[in-house]
Amino acid sequence: MTFSASEPGAATGTSGPPVVEVRNLVKRYPAHTAVDDVSFDIARGETFALLGPNGAGKSTTIEILEGYRDRSSGEVRVLGIDPQKGDLAWKAQLGIVLQSSAEAAHVTVREQVEQFAAYYPHPRDVDEVIAAVGLTEKSKTRIGKLSGGQRRRVDVALGVIGRPQLLFLDEPTTGFDPEARRHFWELIRTLKAEGTTILLTTHYLDEAAQLADRVAVIARGKLVEIGPVDTIGGTEARIPVVRWRDETGLREHHTSEPAAFVATLSARTGSEPRDLEVIRPSLEDIYLGLVSAAVALGEDETEATGAAHV
């Protein structure tokens, strides 16, 4: 599944100034700081995943970048513009898939996508987009009659129809079945190959590992870690684990040379170790380690601050 060749508005390469620049971003609510001194850049053509537990501040950050929410302090530039001052021409370069959206239930999939296409100067072909999200057979169905996952695909179609330079995807595949998720990944790879810059939030760590060039982990509004998918968390967090069973029970050993360790183990026991596994930490394992350390640190700080006020 591919889109036709790029037209005006498509970005190319990863050079030039960052598409997104965030410096010391803070969003305060009366009783709560939702985003606390967060800074990052996203380069042109990059796919960047913002990860974090429920309530970490991901949607708030994205909504500030989209111009839907004002910040309390800090500097933000999206395609060179402060989102609080973004005009219609600026908005037309963005593609937005919100966490939840309310499409008109009484119109068909095709009518809805066509209507959105008319808002943009260089829209993609309506039927191509409907096909890319796997809804060709449902194109004449009223949106109110679609399943939750199918409606989510309409959201994605509406997000990409305007040929955006920068695409925001806030938990885009929630409710997708596994096959639809794979199709969606293909669609994102096609957009990426065309040079689209993508900011993604997801709770599916395999999705982030598949799609993202870099990830940022936030917890309690603070940036915990940022870096390429294959190095985030540092080398320590990536050391493989060899697991096997012997007469004393389940054993495990962390080593950066698992093959050599398994060879020694086999030679020592004189046979194949029972239930042998070599496990390389996944992005999910690394993410969970980072978040639990950050949450524990936050709780310590809260206790210390509370104690200081006693």
Ligand X SMILES: Nc1ncnc2c1ncn2[C@@H]1O[C@H](COP(=O)(O)OP(=O)(O)OP(=O)(O)O)[C@@H](O)[C@H]1O
Return the number of the residue (57 or 258) whose C-beta is nearest ligand X.
Answer: 57
Return phi, psi of residue 212, to 5°.
Answer: -85, 145
Closest distance to ligand X from the beta carbon of 179 (Å) = 24
Q: Is residue 150 at the binding interface for ligand X, with CB under 6 A as the rule?
A: no
Q: Is residue 55 at the binding interface for ligand X, with CB under 6 A as the rule?
A: yes
Query: What is the layout of strands, in order, in the sheet containing 166-170?
Result: 94-97, 166-170, 197-201, 47-51, 214-219, 222-228
CA distance 34 to 180: 32
Q: Is residue 56 at the binding interface for ligand X, with CB under 6 A as the rule?
A: yes
Q: Is residue 52 at the binding interface for ligand X, with CB under 6 A as the rule?
A: yes
Closest distance to ligand X from the beta carbon of 140 (Å) = 33
Q: Is residue 96 at the binding interface for ligand X, with CB under 6 A as the rule?
A: no
Q: Is residue 202 at the binding interface for ligand X, with CB under 6 A as the rule?
A: no
Closest distance to ligand X from the beta carbon of 27 (Å) = 8
Q: Is residue 58 at the binding interface for ligand X, with CB under 6 A as the rule?
A: yes
Q: Determine the interface stretch with ligand X among 27-35, 144-152, 278-286, 295-303 (rule: CB under 6 A).
A: 27-35
Q: Is residue 291 at the binding interface for ligand X, with CB under 6 A as the rule?
A: no
CA distance 104 to 86: 26
How many Cβ atoms sit within 10 Å of the Cβ of residue 175?
15
Closest distance to ligand X from the beta carbon of 33 (Å) = 8
Closest distance to ligand X from the beta carbon of 187 (Å) = 22
Return the number of the residue (112 or 201) whose C-beta is nearest ligand X.
Answer: 201
Closest distance to ligand X from the beta carbon of 34 (Å) = 3
The site string for ligand X over 28-47 (x = CB under 6 A, - otherwise) reads -x--x-x-------------
The correct pick among 4, 15, 54, 271 for binding ligand X (CB under 6 A) is 54
The footprint of ligand X on this chain (CB under 6 A) covers a number of residues equal to 11
The site string for ligand X over 59-78 (x = CB under 6 A, - otherwise) reads xx------------------
Contact residues: ligand X, CB under 6 A: 29, 32, 34, 52, 54-60
